[in-house]
Structure 1
């Protein structure tokens, strides 16, 4: 389970156990004043390890944290959303190339963004 921690500029990851119990939260930074609002999980680099995408409302960017498959993640890569304050992010294969893409909506424009 992944939680966007808006007030503390990070995401929390809780690993699930087979008995329905979750681990303690492991924190991953999303950057100073990032104010993460929404998260999505997917396979963004096709290595079969879950990755995290974060809509950072405070810094007008998307962060991607690539997973190592052991509950740990690489340092974030960031992608600007221009003048848009992103607040929702979702995963799908929007161009039908068998690779997961991101769709982002935000405040400040009447547009959505798709990252292929």
Structure 2
């Protein structure tokens, strides 16, 4: 399980996102005040996807954080795009080489185009994909 923290719903409180590998979902916990979290809201990542790593960033330049995740079982990287009040749209997935096992993600503006880029660490070949 991997955890990312950020203000997903723009309420100036820290929210938590977890990669639930065994459950094939991303879990979102919203802070509701006094450092109390609501119940986990799951977002499915697909059958046997095995999400292993999550990061938060604004990939589409709207007012909301998005969740990117590495699916080690499905050889994909997915993004849930955030919208109003901490909800997410259906997942967009991007394939990587079959059998490569996406393992970790790093984000940044690596090519200076003012858009968030993602680097994927690939477990099987000890390589990275950009």
Unaligned stretches of 5+ in structure 2?
Answer: 1-15
Q: Secondary structure at the match of 2:77?
A: strand
Aligned to 1:70: 85
Q: Secondary structure at the match of 2:88?
A: coil
Structure 1 residue 33 corresponds to structure 2 residue 48: yes
The one of 88, 102, 106 aligned to 2:118: 102
How far apart, CA to CA, are the structure 2 residues paired with 1:26 and 1:60? Answer: 24
Unaligned stretches of 5+ in structure 1?
Answer: none
More strand per residue: 1 or 2? 2
Aligned to 2:29: 14
Cα deviation code 1:4-60 (max 9, x no counterpart): 000010010011234212121100000010000000111011112110101000000
Query: Structure 1's 90 and 18: CA in aligned 2 closer, same or farther, altered over 3 A?
Result: farther
Q: Secondary structure at the match of 1:70?
A: helix
Structure 1 residue 91 corresponds to structure 2 residue 111: no
TM-score computed with the length of structure 1 as normaliser: 0.92
| RMSD over equivalenced CA pairs, Å | 1.1
How far apart, CA to CA, are the structure 1 residues paired with 2:105 and 2:84? Answer: 22
Aligned partners of 1:50 and 1:69 also within 8 Å: no
Aligned to 1:24: 39
The alignment covers a number of residue pairs equal to 114
How far apart, CA to CA, are the structure 1 residues paired with 2:103 and 2:50? Answer: 10
Q: Secondary structure at the match of 1:103?
A: strand
